[in-house]
Amino acid sequence: MKILANDGLDNIAVEELKKLDIEIDLNHYDDELLINKLKEVDIVIIRSATKLTSKILEKTKNTKLKLLIRAGVGLDNIDIEYAKNNGYIVRNTPNSSANSVAEFVIGAIVSLARFIPIANFTCKNKKWNKKQYQGIEIQGKTLGIIGMGNIGKLLAKKADALGMKVVFYDKFVNKCENYAYLSLEDLLRTSDFISIHTPFIKDNFISTNEFNIMKDGCYIVNTSRGDNLDEDALITAIENGKVAGCFMDVLKKEPIENEKLIQNDKIYLSPHLGGATDEAQQKIGMEIVDIVKEFMNM
């Protein structure tokens, strides 16, 4: 059996797969080269850097390639409908990175409340902006979680432990512990911090209308998908004081291209780091080993 791990894979998982007598290619390929490599393997494992579009899957349709594994949660870089209608099996690793993302969001919330990234940046440029960066406590503030899935639930628990009041909105879940379930509108209206944890929903799911409803001076964290958030409307909402700051781990264009985001001091950026921990990557690797074993026994 042959696997292509086009965006790499944790070392321990690689060793485990080799023990199963599997040949594993850890190189990254693009375009025609990728298509040719895919034709030679049974399984492909991808992270976010590779897109398995219908155009690619059409060309590998009648080959030995059967299992497409997304090492991560979001399946938006695989054309799932095409894949499923054409005999491919599609799997992801939903259980592995949730805690890492939830911890990251706590860091983002505290960063926004206390200006930590900009204070670090200016201090290193020899500016002692002590007065300018007087912040707020997060204890007692309302955190509105949009999407109460694996990450949302862990975030709720951590924020609750830090004394935040947690409220949530989810299209499919309306009960979770004793956190208050609100309509999206009520969540936007009442939250001091808003964190998005849905899959990709639609382009600009959070846009001008939603910003207008928000509480004046609220903060936003987005670790979901860049396309969920309207970047132009965000800049306007920051400029008119509606939004006090935003932490964006995911962007419409990755790597970053939007100069307006770079130039705005109230926007903190990170290069899609939510699930980038040793622990998450190891757990993702082991979840993949289990998926491969299951596939081999089919």
Instruction: Give the CA dihedral 99, 163, 118, 236, nearest 10 degrees.
Output: 90
Pairing of strands 43-46, 23-25: unpaired
Pair 43, 69: CB distance under 8 Å: yes
**What is the Cα–Cα distance from 80 to 218, expressed in whole angstroms?**
36
Residue nearest to ligand NAD (CB): 149
- Of 16, 274, 285, 291, the one binding ligand NAD by CB under 6 A: 274
Pair 187, 215: CB distance under 8 Å: no
Determine which one of 225, 239, 257, 287 is catalytic: 225
Pair 223, 196: CB distance under 8 Å: yes
**What is the Cα–Cα distance from 88 to 153, expressed in whole angstroms?**
31
**Pair of tokens at residue 34:** 């990728």
- Of 4, 9, 83, 98, the one binding ligand NAD by CB under 6 A: 98
- Of 157, 171, 253, 293, the one binding ligand NAD by CB under 6 A: 171
CA distances from 247 to 137, 177, 220, 235, 256 (A): 17, 27, 6, 12, 14
Question: Is there binding between residue 283 and ligand DEZ (CB under 6 A)?
Answer: no
Decide which of ligand DEZ, ligand NAD, none touches 113; Cβ closer than 5 to 8 Å per partner kind: none
- Please tell me what DSSP assigns to residue 131: T
- Of 147, 226, 245, 285, the one binding ligand NAD by CB under 6 A: 147
Our answer to whether residue 197 is catalytic in this structure is no
Question: Which distant-in-sequence residues (6+ apart) come within 8 Å of 175 by Cβ?
Answer: 181
> By C-beta, is 48 or 282 nearer to ligand DEZ?
48
Decide which of ligand NAD, ligand DEZ, none touches 48; Cβ closer than 5 to 8 Å per partner kind: ligand DEZ
Least gap, CB of 232 to ligand DEZ (angstroms): 23
Decide which of ligand DEZ, ligand NAD, none touches 47; Cβ closer than 5 to 8 Å per partner kind: ligand DEZ
Determine which one of 47, 70, 91, 272 is catalytic: 272
Our answer to whether residue 254 is catalytic in this structure is yes
Binding site for ligand NAD (CB under 6 A): 72-74, 94, 97-98, 101, 147-152, 170-173, 197-199, 201, 223-225, 249-250, 272, 274-275
Cite the active site residues. Answer: 225, 254, 272
Q: Which residues bind ligand DEZ (CB under 6 A)?
A: 47-49, 71-74, 97, 272, 275-276
